């Protein structure tokens, strides 16, 4: 048993050396790139950076050791002592190859960061997709490749030398314990490797979303580039699986703009057809005098369906009800799709999302600026723009995406005081709203603030000091619930989020900002906690507007149809005077909104008709009529359906064109 322990200790020691080498790289990375970053006041976060970095590195080391561990367990259980010598010899070469490749990746990552200010990501595939020869020539001119190549060879040699020295072992005659002990130790080793790879014993494994600070550089310094490269490969594979959209406008994008706008194609620019989507808000002296702030809040799973059941006994709205009663709310309004990222992309980019989309935030398109992005008119009007997320902004790369679009500030749970409680997805909403109010109060600049909450997301949880208001589920709702216990917890969380939102709106209204701040609230998507028979009820989320009296119009028609696509045009026309913007959406407060549609994934719906065209499926287009209760009734194709289909396909073609051809 003694020799076995010595051999095992040697292998562990060698891996510890590898771990130190990885930490040394992080220190070099931090020292080199951190010298231009203001890190005053981030002392504790720097410690967290290196601690989290160790967890990332340990996960990578554990991944490399999966095969050695399996071989070790196999030999250990079967008790073939003679094969251990061959295993040790194999490990010298195995570690040389894989640790060598790992350190080479670190070197590539170091130079990659110098150019892109990010770890290895989906842009690395540009080396293959772009002019590869031209790129090699560029690298050759910028970097002395010959010495770098020689350094790589020396690096492999050093690793082999270290492995050979550390794993030097003379006596391979191992005294092994009995079979039961060997099996127990093997299972323990395998489980330990699994835990180290996972990097966490919590709900989520360690990943690129694991922020340590509100400082973007510290978050990047903590991450191991293997994780970002793995994410890039994963999304590259997904991207390659998704076909290009075939809308019939592939060879005539001008016709798509013409059909969408109802114009003759001769009126569409040949060089820049996107200019036909440029609109201008009217001159409004009240807006010019008021210069209102704008806060757009996207609530996690903010359900429209539950609102109809709100009562004193089933109080799901809490303090939000007062504001719903006082202000403007649209109920015939849908999210962009079924998941949060679709809402983010629709509102950030101000265009229709693609059905079955590539997640743009995790694609090469996340690293471009777009003139049609939602915040652009505010930036051009001198507004300070902020994106505030209750979770970690490295989730789905949304922090990088927001910064590249031009947000002045990108804030996350790392900006909130250290003792703020929360769940696996982020801090509780009350603390997020505190940060939003603090951001609003920091200067006298006009502000556009985009807030995205996380609390109302499974697994549902609440702060210990929150007192739940009455939640006696109505019998009519119970019939649609399969698990009452889980639903009760979900309703309590929904109530909490609405209560905190209501308090936040009250705080704004009762402050000096109440007379010059527009508040818009919607949900990222509806809930899936219960069965809903009516399709529109299942996809609709509220769209709430608080409009200061000085600029609020009378007789707003809240029965019009709308979706996320229409939020930014509505806000532009409410808050900006004589300013240009690009959008596929409609101002819901305008007369044109009477004929507006709901735009949701593969659906387009007006007040009387609907189509469902999943362009990536081989199924036929589905046609529906809407009855007086907005329920879908299958029907045959009519002229109205043809018009909806033309609008649907032209919108998709335009979105695809704008993303792929107009980014800078």
Of 239, 265, 288, the position where a domain reaches its end is 239
Strand partners, 447: 384
Does a structural domain hold residue 663? no
| Whether residue 295 sits in one domain with residue 234 | no
Please tell me whether residues 214 and 87 are part of one structural domain.
yes
Are residues 101 and 43 both part of a single domain? yes
Read off the pTM: 0.77
**Eight-class DSSP state of 327:** S
Over the Cα atoms of the chain, what is R_g?
29
Distance CA 50, CA 56 (A): 10
Q: Are residues 351 and 495 in the same domain?
A: yes
* DSSP state for residue 471 in the 8-state scheme: B
Most confidently predicted of 145-159, 210-224, 468-482, 536-550 = 536-550
Question: Mean pLDDT across the stretch 164-187?
Answer: 73
Q: What is the CATH number of the domain that holds 338?
A: 3.40.720.10
Structure tokens at 79: 């008790």
Q: Are residues 63 and 203 in the same domain?
A: yes
Q: What is the pLDDT of residues 94-129, one digit of tens each?
A: 999 999 999 989 988 887 887 667 788 776 776 655
Same domain, 523 and 468: yes
Beta-bridge partners for 333: 562
**Which residue do the tokens 């696509």 mark?**
565
Specify the number of domains making up the chain.
2
pLDDT of residue 425: 84
SS3 473: coil
Of 578, 582, 598, 615, nearest in space to 538 by CA:
598
Verify that 465 and 373 share a domain, yes or no: yes
Q: Looking at the predicted structure, is the pLDDT value of residue 368 above 70? A: yes
Residue 632 covered by a domain? no
514 located within any domain: yes
**If pLDDT is split at 50, 70 and 90, which confidence band does 238 have?**
low
Whether 42 is covered by a domain: the verdict is yes
Q: Which domain holds residue 133?
A: 2-239
User: Domain ends where: 239, 266, 288?
Assistant: 239
Contacts of 76 (CB under 8 A, 6+ apart): 176, 182, 185, 186
Predicted pLDDT of residue 173: 58
Give the C-alpha separation, 491 to 318, whole Å: 12
Region 205-213: mean pLDDT is: 75
CB count in 10 Å sphere of residue 403: 18
Size of the chain, expressed as the number of residues it contains:
664
Residue 490 lies in a domain: yes
In the predicted model, what is the mean pLDDT of residues 265-283?
95
Q: Is residue 263 part of a domain?
A: no
Sign, Cα dihedral of 651, 652, 653, 654: positive
Structure tokens at 383: 């507004």
**Among candidates 544, 523, 461, which has minimal Cα distance to 302?**
523
Looking only at the bridges linking them, the beta strands covering 384-389 and 409-411 are parallel
Q: What are phi and psi of 483, to 5 degrees?
A: -130, 95
Q: Burial level of 5, CB count in 10 A (0-12/13-18/19+)?
A: exposed
| pLDDT attached to residue 99 | 92
- For 633, counting Cβ atoms within 10 Å of its Cβ (0-12 exposed, 13-18 middle, 19+ buried), the class is exposed
Residue 612 lies in a domain: no
What is the pLDDT confidence band of residue 243, given thresholds at 50, 70 and 90? Answer: low
Tell me: the pLDDT tens digits for 559-593? 999 999 999 999 999 999 999 999 999 999 999 89
Question: Do 440 and 552 reside in the same domain of the chain?
Answer: yes
* CA angle centred on 350, ends 347 and 352, rounded to 5°: 95
pLDDT digits (tens, 9 = 90+) for 486-500: 889 999 999 999 999
The angle, 0 to 180 degrees and rounded to 10, between the axes of the packed helices 43-64 and 66-78 is 50
Is residue 513 within 8 Å of 472, Cβ to Cβ?
no
For residue 504, what pLDDT band results from cuts at 50, 70 and 90? very high
Lowest mean pLDDT among 101-110, 137-146, 531-540, 628-637: 137-146
Q: What does the DSSP 8-state code read for residue 208?
A: T
**Distance in angstroms (rounded) separating the CA atoms of residues 468 and 537:** 26
Question: What distance in Å separates the CA atoms of residue 289 and residue 296, rounded to the nearest whole number?
Answer: 21
More confident residue, 418 or 221: 221
Q: Is the pLDDT of residue 41 over 70?
A: yes
Q: Are residues 26 and 88 in the same domain?
A: yes
% of the chain with per-residue pLDDT over 90 = 54
Q: Which of 534, 474, 544 is nearest to 305 (CA)?
A: 534
In this structure, are strands 384-389 and 447-452 parallel, antiparallel, or unpaired?
A: parallel
175 with 286, same domain: the answer is no
% of the chain exceeding 70 in pLDDT? 89
Residue 268 exposed, middle or buried by CB count within 10 Å (0-12, 13-18, 19+):
buried
E strands along 536-579, which residues? 543-546, 562-563
Mean pLDDT of the chain: 87
Residue 637 maps to a domain: no
Do 344 and 209 reside in the same domain of the chain?
Answer: no
Q: How far apart are CA 415 and CA 40, in angstroms?
A: 14
Among residues 607, 640, 655, the one where a domain terminates is 607
Q: Are residue 207 and residue 293 in the same domain, yes or no?
A: no
């Amino acid at each position: 048993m003694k020799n076995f322990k010595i051999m095992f200790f040697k292998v562990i020691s060698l891996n510890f050396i590898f771990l130190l080498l990885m930490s040394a790289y992080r220190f070099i990375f931090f020292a080199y790139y951190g010298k231009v970053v203001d890190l005053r006041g981030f002392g504790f976060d720097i410690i967290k950076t290196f601690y989290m970095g160790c967890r990332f590195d340990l996960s990578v080391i554990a991944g490399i050791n999966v095969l050695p561990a399996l071989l070790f367990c196999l030999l250990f259980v079967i008790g073939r002592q003679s094969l251990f010598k061959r295993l040790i010899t194999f490990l010298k070469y195995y570690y040389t190859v894989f640790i060598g490749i790992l350190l080479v990746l670190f070197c590539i990552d170091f130079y990659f960061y110098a150019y892109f200010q990010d770890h290895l990501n989906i842009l690395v595939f540009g080396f293959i997709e772009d002019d590869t020869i031209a790129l090699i020539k560029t690298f050759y001119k910028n970097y002395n490749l010959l010495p770098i190549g020689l350094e790589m060879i020396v690096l492999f040699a050093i690793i082999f030398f270290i492995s050979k020295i550390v794993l030097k072992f003379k006596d391979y005659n191992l005294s092994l314990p009995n079979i039961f002990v060997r099996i127990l130790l093997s299972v323990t080793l395998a489980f330990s490797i699994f835990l180290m790879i996972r990097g966490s014993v919590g709900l989520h494994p360690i990943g690129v979303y694991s922020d340590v600070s509100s400082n973007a550089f510290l978050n990047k310094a903590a991450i191991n580039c293997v994780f970002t490269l793995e994410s890039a490969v994963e999304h590259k594979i997904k991207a390659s699986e998704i076909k290009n959209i075939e809308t019939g406008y592939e060879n005539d994008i001008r016709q798509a703009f013409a059909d969408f706008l109802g114009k003759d194609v001769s009126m569409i620019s040949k060089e820049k057809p996107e200019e036909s989507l440029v609109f201008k808000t009217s001159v409004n002296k009240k807006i010019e005098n008021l210069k209102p702030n704008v806060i757009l809040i996207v609530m996690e799973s903010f359900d429209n369906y539950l609102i109809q059941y709100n009562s004193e006994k089933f109080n799901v709205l809490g303090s939000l009800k007062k504001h719903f009663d006082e202000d403007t709310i649209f109920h015939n309004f849908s999210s962009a799709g079924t998941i949060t990222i679709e809402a983010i992309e629709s509102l950030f980019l101000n265009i229709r999302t693609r059905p079955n989309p590539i997640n743009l935030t995790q694609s090469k398109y996340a690293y471009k600026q777009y003139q049609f992005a939602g915040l652009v008119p505010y930036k051009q009007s001198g507004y300070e723009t902020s994106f505030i997320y209750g979770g970690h902004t490295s989730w789905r790369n949304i922090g990088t995406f927001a910064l590249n679009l031009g947000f002045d500030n990108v804030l996350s749970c790392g900006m909130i005081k250290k003792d703020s409680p929360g769940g696996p997805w982020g801090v509780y909403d009350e603390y997020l709203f505190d940060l939003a109010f603090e951001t609003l109060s920091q200067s006298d600049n006009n502000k556009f603030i985009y807030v995205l909450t996380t609390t109302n997301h499974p697994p549902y949880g609440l702060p210990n000091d929150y007192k739940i208001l009455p939640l006696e589920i109505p019998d009519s709702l119970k019939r649609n619930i399969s698990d009452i216990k889980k639903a009760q917890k979900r309703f309590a969380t929904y109530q909490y989020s609405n209560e905190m939102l209501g308090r936040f709106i009250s705080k704004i209204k009762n402050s000096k900002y109440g007379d010059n701040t527009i508040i818009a609230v919607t949900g990222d998507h509806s809930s899936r906690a219960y069965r809903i028979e009516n399709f529109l009820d299942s996809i609709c989320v509220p769209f709430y507007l608080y409009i200061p009296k000085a600029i609020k119009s009378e007789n707003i028609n809240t029965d019009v149809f709308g979706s996320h696509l229409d939020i930014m045009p509505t806000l532009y026309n409410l808050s900006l005077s004589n300013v240009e913007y690009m959008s596929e959406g409609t101002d819901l407060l305008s007369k044109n909104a009477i004929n507006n549609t709901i735009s949701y994934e593969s659906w387009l719906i007006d007040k009387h008709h609907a189509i469902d065209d999943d362009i990536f499926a081989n199924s036929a287009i589905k046609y529906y009529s809407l009855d007086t209760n907005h329920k879908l009734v299958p029907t045959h194709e009519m002229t109205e359906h043809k018009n909806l289909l033309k609008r649907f396909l032209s919108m998709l073609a335009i979105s695809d064109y704008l993303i792929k051809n107009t980014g800078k």
